[in-house]
Amino acid sequence: MAHQNESSGTQSGATNKVWFITGSSRGFGRVWAEAALKRGDKVAATARKLESIADLKEKYGDNVLTLELDVTNAAQAKATVEQAHAHFGRLDIVLNNAGYSLVATVEEASADDIRALYETNIIGPVTVIQAALPLLRKQGGGHILGTSSNLGHVTLPVIGYYSSSKWAFEAIHESLAAEIKQFGIKVTIIEPGAYATEFGSQESLKFSAGLDIYTEFKEEFFGGLRSMQRGDPEATPEAIFKIVDAETPPLRFFLGSQCLPWVRAAYQERLATWEEWADVSNAAQGQPK
């Protein structure tokens, strides 16, 4: 029953969508760009290095526009979004997918490391959104998608700064959804679990200078990650299509089967702690002023 609206939306809105995707060279960005093109949609595919997506043009011709974009360059982001909109005449879906993970304990990361992470994972997507919003309002609607993570709700050690960037990403998109609903613009946060993408490659990870006292801890942590079961990225496009074709898409959407049990347990634990300390919390309210 929960998918009846999605089914009707899929029938009426599945064809001839125009996508703008950041981080199209690898990982989910690449998988979703190709899947959209294969189903007949048009895609403005962007990446930091144009040669990394040049083959899309060879395969899909006029249905794809390949553009160079470093999301930390605000002027380039604005110009690229506007160029894509002018080229295709509209943008139905703006998908922020570019990002990377910083590997560091809280003590190890430098301020520059943290700033660079936030520039790409938070400020970059915001810049793209701010460039797109006037265009989406003028055309009467659109759908903003952002690739977050189940780590937008829970955290892990050693990649705590990455997790924090996704917590901020989630908060920004939730506020955005309330602000732009009046313009007929939809927002969905995609929250993947662990997948066998290139996200774990050297190109998608940056390492802070390490401290010897954490070496053993990090070795154990990465040993656990290596044994983690990972989903198949090629199994994800149909879920994404159901989201973008739905008349009333969700604000948040878990991608994969691992997320909900983990997040459910985390929230149950948080609620239990808040309840346990409720008397102390309530006493701190004082008398009404």
Considering the candidates 25, 148, 163, 208, report the single residue annotated as catalytic.
148
Tokens of 135: 């265009």
User: For residue 262, which of 156, 186, 181, 188 has the smallest C-alpha distance?
Assistant: 156
The 3-state secondary structure of 18-84 reads EEEECCCCCHHHHHHHHHHHHCCCEEEEEECCHHHHHHHHHHHHHHEEEEECCCCCHHHHHHHHHHH
* Residue 166 is among the residues annotated as catalytic for this protein: yes
Residue 140: Cβ-neighbour burial (10 angstroms; 0-12, 13-18, 19+): exposed
* Residue 267 is among the residues annotated as catalytic for this protein: no
Considering the candidates 17, 42, 166, 218, report the single residue annotated as catalytic.
166
Would you tell me the crossing angle of helices 111-118 and 160-180 to the nearest 10 degrees? 30
Q: Alpha-carbon distance 236 to 73, whole Å?
A: 30
Considering the candidates 100, 118, 161, 162, report the single residue annotated as catalytic.
162
| Catalytically annotated residues | 148, 162, 166
